[in-house]
Structure 1
């Protein structure tokens, strides 16, 4: 009999479920015009604009409550509050309560994105079979003492979240009409107490979206969600419940992760189309009557290589110079001569030019506050461009591109050459420092191209002047305890709150006037902009310290010091053979030649051309020159690297089949003058092959000079500055240095593969 009863019970339950499903399947879909989205927003923050963009993409009908109203709902990002939202919803529902077939969707706007459309959300609401459905989450807030009063659930999130509510208008109205509390009382606690009342829960048929069919709250659930890329748009997938939520809510401390998701959903970026929103709201500078005025803040906070090149790139930016005001903070005495040279050359180029030097003893934060303040207090300043001098902009259009993107705060992507080090972080750890986002490498390597909402940027960024005078009007954004200035600025921008402390009639209510309006910061990699140079291990003890950067910053070293026609040797056979097996080719820029000569003269200890020479093995030089060895100035490792990188490839080209080791014991700069040593007698070099680089110009710096090869009765007597000739050292190429008759001639020589 017991088994029979169990059978009938099971049969009855199956029949009930079957009938329920049959009933659901017979329901007519709710027309999309019967869905109304209600959201509270007192200001048009970046988050609100993103919310509206996603809503418009899916054609939601949205009514905004409270726009322009003073926020008195507390600082909901940090504590209890939000009662003002319930009051506004209550007022709106009074006019809607008689529309029995109207479905109201009440959601937050500053930290929420739609991932699906009205048809989907209405279908899922019908399937839930509740009159009112709240979002759910796994963490209870704000009163943990209420945990035991929640109904148990076998699977899914147990606790109510008030950031998402969907229900028929009369039922939603019955809930919110009970509100009689203060603006800064907690909205979630209000809704929770109603839900935990068994009678109200049953009478109003209130349910929770336990498995994130509609609402995905990210707090405590970041590990559960993944991006799901489709051909049309990108979704968020809850991997625990295998659901595709329609509404994604970055509640509590998950707003940065929502920003990451917002770079993709619903249609911001996918693999097929790339960035679909990058051109939204762009400004065409060519259509403006005049270009915006820009304050450029330049910051030299540590010894920085290639500073002259940085300034030259600033001068050559494709932007009207009368629209550029330049502020330079130099914290390094070493760079005062570089600043002076730039000042003398460019002080009249820009609309204004101001320098603050190390004598002012400003901290980094103080200096950056000063630079930003110059734009803030000038009503004509349209943009503020902050640049550290370790940024090498190779794209002359950078400033125009950033302005045209029309973002409040935006920076160009710049990276260390050949490395993943860049000027942005894709995510932050719990302690606020670097964490690698899933897409970081793809963005740095330009496998994903777009305009990216990120939590941290440094080195170079553009900020609208109106933002400085409004949202960022506080004057100390670069100073926060234990944070470097850029981290402080980004944190202040992310967690920005607006308040009316001075206008408040009652100082005790100050905390109630705070409204979170965190700003979005963007990085763009839609173009190649340039690179970051390394300032680590920059030894400033040399006269021209950039010469030593061949290891640390090889790309910048090459651009500064290697002849612009060097690569033509391999692409166009751009070299000459003035004598048999003597090859002549460009290798150094004039700047390289000048700096190497300056370095040697600054060292000053020329050998005098004596036979006795303690610098070499045996202490005796058969054919001495008046020279300084590279090793004497600490440049031997760098010079050998230069030989391997830039001479060895030429060797392989002209001496086919010979593979050089690129090793040389004798590397030196020779000085020929009529009063000391004017020439060099015939000799063979102790090398497999020799290079001889002309470091100054015949006719301008000296007269005479050159080299004669006896076996072929052939002379090279008109050397070109920056060009090297290469010839075999032993056996065949007996040669001599022809007399220098006037001035001073410098050459750099290496006996390679001795």
Structure 2
């Protein structure tokens, strides 16, 4: 075969090469290159996210305008958009003749790239244009221009209108477009590009199209309902547009859709995987390991007690237990609840010498937002590295919470805290159209820890860590007078050894300065402080994170907390069972339920096991004595149906002190499981009991109880105080078996059958006072 015989085959392969690697309109036969441009005046969280995605997919990119003054005040604003055009024009001068270079321009603060160069170029080539702009369903900034859009766009199924937040094209054509006419820095770039597109001659000259069906660009505004996450076989996420069955790779959170972009950003650009978990959790992570205490960051902890809160002692105890050098921590405390004055005073008394400083805001600071803003200002004044805000509803079980949050190195990050067994947490996954709570697609998976990670969310509350730079950067570049104004509010604080009465207060400004994120919304002063603060952060482009890469703690429920009793925590078994059990259930109780645990039987079918703590015993006794209306021990008892008690005791019923329903819940949660273990075959859920009472025995009142049967299927009898210390004598004798239990243990209960078999009596108390808690279960 001669060489000429090969020519048709060579030509064929050469043609395929041109089609695959070149653009027939330009005559290029070389592989296309892609250069990404963006404009950012400062490295915001959004810019850093874009930067991460570009680096992740090995893109070549240039950032324009970084650290340069911006005429619009904010590169995200429309005012000053012309500056973006002028910056791009200047940057493209050196690329204007490169026939094989594709330019991709994207906004910087609200865009994520989710593909490599080759995939983006392949998609661009399928669109058959030299320049492609992203598209959306809104015609702006001049809605009247909608009628001027080409007819084919009206009939085309897809997004009709141009959006300048993302476009892609050959370098020569893009340069010609941005150089086609002068534009002032203060002009609107969106309007500039729209008018070019609507000019049929220019649109044809530069072969401009819109990405109507989100082949490359997905503008989320107005299209949130069209998109969903999809995970490939490797577990990585992409954005799927269900309306057009496309998977766009440049995702733009334009307009009000930034919260949705943040949610998608938790997954795309290889941030989180169904197989590998949270890949982005390691981004920028730091370590405090090995640092000497003096070298650790300084922290100001803001403690806020806005309302009466159950189990407040455990709240303070968990703060003290945080494993961080106390000499690096200052405290600022705000208490708005008189009920907790004694708790705060006790905490300050025992910890003033422990921490670097302890400040207490006086009662004259009567507004929640005021106190919280003062704490932010105090952080700036003392030059703290971190500000850790914690409300009294937050309970940090993890002693390393503070260290963990610092090491995760986000500007604002909250530990995930959830009300045990509930769907209530300290973050919102999404926002409704009016700015309130809306459940995100992954909210339940996150709060149940089915997904672990660091999540970009629109709202946090109750407990979070703020990097001090967030507060200080707002003061950068201020004049001396502006700086003085920013610091005009001196926090009226207590230094070590001071009491609130000794501290004078300075005037507190009514208008919050905009140099910091604020807990007060000037447009809506009635807005809750946490909502105002999160909105303030969002408006400044500061990302808000919640982390559940570890278990940190939980929230208590303060909403129905009743403070009319002596020991109000005693009544919280319904609303805060986790904390209630921690305080009141015996630490050895859980062992009783283990299958291999043998429960003591001091007498036949009499079971003896630990159930409540000494604190429970003490509080129940004190609650009854505080109530004080003990029965007289006679047969006449108006509390009973019929008014007659055959075997009377000196007692108080739980329903007299508002504890009846809580006690029935206690029987179900903590007594019934043991009953089912020892009295095999008997099930009754929930257990019923109409006689629940605290009995008091003492020699001068009623020292013993005659033999009797209980009107119950089974009875529990809890020893509330200590034999040999609080009283002498006493105990219980089971007559049929001639068996007595006298060495009673505080917090332990006797459980025995009632009615027929276990005829018993209360033995004589010879001195002191004996208290027991009795329930006749299932009469």
Fold agreement, TM-score > 0.5: yes
How do residues 410-559 of structure 1 correspond to structure 2 at under 5 angstroms? 410-471=413-474, 474-475=515-516, 477-480=518-521, 481=524, 482-496=526-540, 518-559=541-582
Partner of 1:304: 309
Alpha-carbon distance in 1 for matches of 2:252, 2:436: 23
Deviation digits for residues 43-78 of structure 1 (CA, Å, limit 9, x no counterpart) = 000000000100011100011111110111355656
The corresponding residue for 1:329 is 334
2:322 paired residue number: 317
Counterparts in 2 of 1:225 and 1:751: CA distance versus 1, 3 Å:
closer
Post-superposition shift, 1:670? 1.5
Number of the residue aligned with 2:11: none
Whole-Å separation in 2 of the counterparts to 1:79 and 1:41: 14
Instruction: Give the SS at the match of 1:519.
Output: coil
Task: Give 2:601's aligned residue.
Answer: 577
The answer to whether the 8 Å contact 1:216/1:246 transfers is yes
Per-residue Cα deviation, 1:557-597 (whole angstroms, up to 9, x for no partner): 22221111111112142531112222111010111111101
Which segment is superposed worse, 205-214 or 270-279? Answer: 205-214
Q: Counterparts in 2 of 1:135-150, with a 5 A limit?
A: 135-150=134-149
Task: Name which of structure 1's ranges 162-171 and 448-457 shifts more when overlaid on structure 2.
Answer: 162-171
Q: In the superposition, relative to structure 1, how do residues 33 and 317 fare at CA in structure 2: closer, same or farther (>3 Å)?
A: farther
Deviations 1:133-176 (A, max 9, x none): 22222211112222222212232333222112222222222122
Q: Note the C-alpha offset of 1:104.
A: 1.7
CA distance in 2, matches of 1:32, 1:115: 21
1:371 aligns with 2:364: no
2:271 to 268, 271, 280: 268
Structure 1 residue 32, shift from structure 2 partner:
6.8
In structure 2, do the counterparts of structure 1 residues 725 and 193 end up closer, same or farther at CA, with 3 Å as the change threshold?
same
Mapping 1:17-56, distance limit 5 Å: 25=19, 27-28=21-22, 34-56=33-55
Alignment equivalent of 1:613, drawn from 637, 641, 654: 637
Measured after TM superposition, the shift of residue 432 of structure 1 is 0.7
CA drift at 1:743: 2.4
* 1:681 and 2:686 aligned: no
Q: CA deviation at 1:91?
A: 1.1
Tell me if the contact between 2:70 and 2:80 (Cα under 8 Å) persists in the aligned partners: no
Following superposition, the deviation at residue 97 of structure 1 comes to 1.6
RMSD: 2.2
Confirm or deny: 8 A CA contact 2:131 2:207 kept in the other structure. yes
Q: CA deviation at 1:25?
A: 3.5
Closer/same/farther in 2, CA of residues 224 and 622 from structure 1, 3 Å limit: closer
**Equivalent in 186, 189, 195 of residue 187 of structure 1:** 189
Q: How does 1:615-634 map to 2 (within 5 A)?
A: 615-634=639-658
Task: Tell me the distance in 2 between the aligned counterparts of 1:120 and 1:729.
Answer: 78
Report how far residue 117 of structure 1 moved: 1.2
Unaligned ranges ≥5, structure 1? 1-20, 497-517
Q: 1:345 to 1:688 in 2, by over 3 A?
A: farther
Unaligned runs of 5+ in 2: 1-14, 24-28, 476-513
In the alignment, the residues of structure 2 paired with residue 256 and residue 32 of structure 1 have an alpha-carbon distance, to the nearest angstrom, of 38
Deviation at 1:398, TM superposition (A): 1.6
Quote the Cα distance in structure 2 between the aligned partners of 1:412 and 1:329.
21
1:273-315 C-alpha deviation (Å, 9 max, x unpaired): 2211111111111143333222222222122111112222222
Does the alignment pair 1:560 with 2:558?
Answer: no
TM-score normalised over the length of structure 1:
0.90
Give how far 1:604 is off.
Answer: 1.2
Instruction: Report the equivalent of 1:224.
Output: 226
Equivalent residues of 2:72, 2:78 under 8 A apart:
no
Going from structure 1 to structure 2, the CA distance change for 1:703 and 1:471 (only over 3 Å counts) comes to: farther
- The 3 A distance-change label for structure 1 pair 647 and 124 is closer
Number of residue pairs the alignment of both structures matches: 711
Distance 1:647 1:583 in 2: 12
4+ aligned runs moved over 4 Å, structure 1: 21-24, 29-33, 74-80
Query: Which one of the candidate residues 742, 753, 759 is aligned to 1:734?
Result: 759
Match of 2:749 in 1: 724
Q: Displacement, 1:739?
A: 2.7
**Structure 1 residues 592, 179: closer, same or farther in 2, change over 3 A?**
farther
Tell me the equivalent position of 2:506.
Answer: none
Give the alignment partner of residue 292 of structure 1, picking from 294, 297, 300: 297
The equivalent residue for 1:57 is 56
Report the alpha carbon displacement of residue 88 of structure 1 after superposing the two structures with TM. Answer: 0.7
Between the aligned partners of 1:703 and 1:471, the Cα distance in structure 2 is 70
How far has the Cα of 1:732 moved from its partner?
A: 3.4
**Bigger CA drift: 639-648 or 610-619?**
610-619
- Asked if structure 2 preserves the Cα contact closer than 8 Å seen for 1:231 and 1:272, the reply is no
Residue equivalent to 2:770: 745
Distance in 1 between the 2:465 and 2:530 partners?
13
1:82 maps to what in 2? 81
How far did 1:669 drift?
1.1
Which residue is 1:502 aligned to?
Answer: none
Pair 1:557–1:168, CA change in 2 (3 A)? same
Residue correspondence of structure 1 range 62-211 to structure 2 within 5 A: 62-73=61-72, 75=74, 77=76, 79-152=78-151, 153=153, 154-155=155-156, 156-211=158-213
2:604 counterpart of 1:586:
no
How big is each residue's C-alpha offset from its partner over 1:320-377, in whole Å with a ceiling of 9 and x where there is no partner?
A: 22222222221111222332333344443333323336x3351221121122222222
Task: Give the structure-2-normalised TM-score.
Answer: 0.87
Q: Secondary structure at the match of 1:664?
A: coil
**Match of residue 484 from structure 2:** none
CA distance in 1 between partners of 2:290 and 2:85 (Å): 45
The CA deviation string for residues 601-631 of structure 1, in whole angstroms up to 9 with x for no partner, is 1111222433332222333333332221112
The separation in 2 between residues aligned to 1:426 and 1:737, in whole angstroms, is: 59
Q: d(CA) in 2 for partners of 1:692 and 1:32?
A: 86
Tell me how far apart the structure 2 counterparts of residues 218 and 644 of structure 1 sit (CA, whole Å): 51
Deviations 1:22-49 (A, max 9, x none): 9984653886772211111110000000
Counterpart in the other structure of 2:478: none
